[in-house]
Structure 1
Amino acid sequence: MSHPGAAVSARSAGARSLIMRTAERLYASRGFADVSIRQIGEAAGQRNKSAVQYHFTGRDELIKAILAEHAAATERHRFAMMSPLGDLAELSLPDQIRCIVLPRIEHHIELGSPSWYGRFLAQVVVEPALREYALEAHLNTPSLRRLYDAIHARQGRGRDPVRGARREAMIRQLVVHMTAELESELAREQPAAGVAAGAWRRLGADLITATCGLIGAMDAEEAASG
């Protein structure tokens, strides 16, 4: 016989998850300015008008919860990929970049289609009041910090930290907005799962090539001017 408290907890978890998925979809398709907390609750089928506030206290906590959930899922893929690799500083630049890009790609494949996370994240990172939440959720994951530390170690000491931060920002923007673009395309076309997975992996390969080219060009220019 199940405990009544367990049933209540399961219902609460289900409502929380439904609110998160609904908010993600609405924010991704309409932006933040045109979506209210009340609209999210209604679209999620919540009869209680304060349901979103009950589960998340407000919009920012809801957004943080969505970001944290996806960051944790991506971290699982990255941890599995990095575990057998040993010293990350000894990896080639393309292998280091693969560890940054491919776990995100695998998470998008895992989400299926249509999904909304890519477009949701693209909205977050251009919203001044919210972008720090995205940076905190993703950059504070242990594996990603190890990777950036390894890339910095490969580049050596004495490099301009401002240019280094700008380089990281360029990589993030490239990955975020290109994944949002493909997610939107797949949502329109609704291909079979295998076709969609192939499209994601092709994008992953292109992002690795583009990112390595970007880093290589900036490193070369910095070395020449230094």
Structure 2
Amino acid sequence: MTSAAPAAPPSSRSALAREKLMAAAERLYAEHGFANVSIRMIGEAAGQRNKSAVQYHFTTRDELIQAILTRHAAAIERLRAPMVAALDALGEVSPRERISCIIVPTIEHHIELGTPSWYGRFLAQALVEPSLREYAIRTQLQMPSLRRLEELRRGPDRDPELLAQNAAMIRQLIVHMTAELEADLAGGRADPATAERSWRRLGENLITAVCGLSSALVGDR
């Protein structure tokens, strides 16, 4: 007689359920938009029989979305932190080196996610959702590596409002261009077989574009 496998500890089951709910929510929101996805749909897509699974594990929809944003931010921070540490050791940092440290970890994270992925489109929507926008921006700006990059920025004092506008332009460009490529790969408009090359090419183009934008707007050279 074959004995049944031991049940997973409750904590492990709970963690697995949370992961399934986050994965399902990210995909559904990316594909259909926040307004068109219900809590019940997320639970069903995650294979949860309990209709209140989302509320049990996350309390609210926004808490679920914030957990997804935080998880991706931590993954990008893991990639960026050693890059920033290497720049720190150099002392003198060029604008292109600093901007590369902003963009490259995001590109590498998308490559790690594989194809299809949903994070790019998910983030693009979170940044324009009134109840989530502030949290999404704050989650990015509070990364220790990004704060250190800002400290490494060289040059004369500049208008804080102009710097904030420049940062917003850079954020919009990076977020929406990565969402665009992600959608093209998922929809077959770009070849998934060459996805890594497409991501790296986008990264290089973004670095060049952001360098030009920052040079023209705030004088980074």
The verdict on a shared fold, with TM-score over 0.5 as the criterion, is: yes
Which residue matches 2:41?
Answer: 39
Cα distance in 1 for residues equivalent to 2:155 and 2:186: 39
Give the aligned residue type for 2:218.
Answer: D
How big is each residue's C-alpha offset from its partner over 1:186-222, in whole Å with a ceiling of 9 and x where there is no partner? 11227455x11110000000000000000000124x9
Cα distance in 2 for residues equivalent to 1:91 and 1:5: 54
Give the aligned residue type for 1:78.
Answer: R
CA contact (8 A) 1:88 1:147 kept: no
Cα distance in 2 for residues equivalent to 1:165 and 1:155: 16
How big is each residue's C-alpha offset from its partner over 1:22-69, in whole Å with a ceiling of 9 and x where there is no partner? 101111111111111111111111100110011100111001100000
Cα distance in 2 for residues equivalent to 1:212 and 1:196: 24
Q: 1:72 to 1:38 in 2, by over 3 A?
A: same
Which residue matches 1:56?
Answer: 58
Q: Mean alpha-carbon deviation: is it higher for 176-185 or for 27-36? A: 27-36
How big is each residue's C-alpha offset from its partner over 1:70-90, in whole Å with a ceiling of 9 and x where there is no partner? 000000000122222225762
Number of residue-to-residue matches in the alignment: 214
1:20 pairs with 2:22:
yes
1:118-137 equivalences in 2 (<5 Å): 118-137=120-139
Which residue matches 1:174?
Answer: 173
Identity, % of aligned positions: 62
Which residue matches 1:86?
Answer: 88
The structure 2 residue matched to 1:150, chosen from 145, 149, 152, is 152
Q: TM-score, normalised by structure 1?
A: 0.90
Structure 1's consecutive aligned runs of 4 or more residues displaced over 3 angstroms after TM superposition are 190-193
Give the aligned residue type for 1:58.
Answer: T
CA contact (8 A) 1:113 1:187 kept: yes
Aligned-residue RMSD, C-alpha:
1.8
Which residue matches 1:138?
Answer: 140
Cα distance in 1 for residues equivalent to 2:127 and 2:150: 19
